[in-house]
Each structure stands twice: as C-alpha cells, then as structure tokens.
Structure 1
Amino acid sequence: MKNAGLVLAAGAGRRMGTPKALVRDADGAPWVVRASRLLAASGCAPVVVVIGAAADEVRAELSAEPVHVVEATDWAEGMGASLRAGLKTFAPGVEAVVVVPVDVPGLTSAAVRRVVERAGPEALVRATYGGAPGHPVVIGREHWAGVITSARGDEGARGYLREHETVLVECGDVSDGADVDTPEDLPPGHG
C-alpha cells in the first residue's frame, strides 16, 4: 500500500505575523521542513508540500528536501485551496494521503504511524487528542473527488469528514496535536 504525505503550508499566518511555514524550531529548522521530514520519516512517499504566501522564500527553504512543491495560486482562499491543489497532484499508485498542516509543531512520527495503520483507498482517519479532533488526517483515494469538491475556505476537509464515517484514532499519549496560531502559542525555543 502506498501512502503519500501532504503538508499544507500556503497560509500567510496573519495572526502569527509571518507565514507559519517559515517559523523556526528550536534547532533552527523551518516548520515546513520539519513537517515534510516528519512525513517522510513516517514512511510517507512521495511528500507534497503546498505553498502560497511567501512562495519564493518557502520554496528556497525546501530546495534541499526530497519533496514535490506545488503552489496554490488561490491560497488566500484558505486551507481548502491548499488541500484541493495537493490532492490533484498524486499519481494513480497512491492509495491514501496523510494530511498535516504546517502549524502543528508537537506532531510526532508515532502519531503519524498510528493513523497510517488504518490507511487504505477507502479510508477516512483522523487523529484525536483527548477526544478532540486534530491532525494528521488520512484521506483514501476513493474520497479525493468528494474532498476536492467540498473543500472551501479555512475548513479544509472538516465538513466532508463530518458527513462521512471517519475512524478516530487517539494520539494524545504519543503527540501534542495543538495548532499554533499566534506567537503566544509558540512552544519554548520556537520563533
């Protein structure tokens, strides 16, 4: 079974004051590099990164990474535009895509591997943290057309997931699934 990775990294990060793709971990790596490496280390291949805001800067950060970069020209619409652009890029051999937004710095390979265990062409799988839905999300190929049609604004695939049977996989014991939206939310050593 072939599971690809999809990093949604196109947003401007208005509340953060900079595109979140360019925020740096304590070790100096930009979040866009951290997220793409995390998916690759978790066995996802290929890894596609969708960029938009500050596209040239983000592309430069990824220049040495083994990823496929896709620019969502309508990125300002929200996460839905990035998700649509990313899902449209995968070759027929890919059965499922593991989707992560760039702004979940506490995500671990253990959480990614846990949701990937449930992957397949018909899969809809979502990580939860203390019962609250989060990322990663696995979208099987059979659902791509529906997600592409319904993904709008900043909701991404949330509406589609609500309307279809989705397997929930608790990951709070192996990962921190918190989205980081403002500088005040940053973990120590990030910035």
Structure 2
Amino acid sequence: MHRRRRTALVLTAAIAAAGPLLTACGNDAHPGAAAVVGGQRITVSQLENRVEEVREAQRAAVTDEAQYSQAIAKTGTLTRDTLHGMVLDRVLHRAAQDAGVTVSRREVQQMRAGLEQQAGGAKALQTAWLQQYSVAPERLDENLHLQLEAQKLAESLGTDTSQPAFWKALSEASKELDVDLNPRYGTWDAEKVGRVDTKAPWVRDVTTAGEERPA
C-alpha cells in the first residue's frame, strides 16, 4: 500500500522505475489510453513522456554509467508507479474541488522557497525530489501544488493526510471519477485509492520485473 509513503510529504511522487513491459491481446476499451479518469484519458504517450522526463533527469544528475544503473535499479517500477501517481493526482484534485479547496500560485512559490532554504538551494531541492520521489525538475511546482492541496484538504476535514477521514474523501472522489486502467497496468481499487497488479491469461509479461535497459 502506498498511502504512508506518498503522504510523508510527497503524496503523489512516483516511487520506483520502469516496471516490466507488458503486451495485451484482446479488446482494448480505450485504445491508446493508459487510464481514463472522469472521462478524461491519460494516454500511453503522456505516461511514457513522464517516465522519460525522470530518466533524462536521472541521466543528467549522475556522472557515470554505474551510477545511472544504480538509479535505475532503485526505481524498478517507474512506469506503473508514475501512472499510479498521475491518477492519484486527479483524484486528489477532485476531492479538493469537492471540498472547496484551492491553492494559489503564491502559496506554491512560498512553499518552494521554504523548501529550497531547507535543502540548501534550488538545485539541491530538485536533486532531492528526483532522488527520493522520482519527480523531474520540471514537475516540481506541479507536485508542490498537489502537496498543498492535500494539506489543505486534510485541514478542511479536521484531520491529516495519514488518517482515514482524508482517505475516505479520496475514495469518494475516486468513485466519482470512475477510474479505469488499461489492464496492462493493473486495476484501480477505489476503496483503497490505489493501483493493483493483475494477472490475466491474455496479459503477457515480456521482460523480467524490475529490469530496464539504460537509455
């Protein structure tokens, strides 16, 4: 379960790297979609672009192939975890909307400034978010916006992000959005607000779990 890890601070940060490549046979209800959330598609292309952003940032952050390989190894299910995060972000945003919660750009800037001071500068913060949470530098403000949404939503409910009342609100939003994942990425459990791996006879794992060839 991803709840405590995601709500430690980075609720929506992906936690690992490039899971096994999957191929599926049979009918696809949403061609080209990794997921459909509230009738809106998250395309496979969008998902792949997000993963590539992290991979490019990891490549730029290390000095040799061995370090890059270590970064890959530490993030062994990035594709599926990135999709989990992308869906959860939309669920959180719907729950915040339902509660009348809004976040301003100024609030995001203030949060970022405080975190940069703690981390020792903008670059240090970007590196920390990349290494710890697999958030690419260009997604940092977007991620902080979601952190603030989560915090303010919890406050509006008189709780915090680790408590059942907070996750109940996300579960309700998840049901409203009727999340539908492409079977190759598993299924979405609205009660638990998370992605679940599935094993179907028509879904074939074509790589070893956790392995990915470095770019």
TM-score when normalising by structure 2: 0.32
Q: Which has the larger radius of gyration?
A: 2
Higher helix share: 2
Higher relative contact order (CA 8 A, sep 6+): 2
Higher strand share: 1
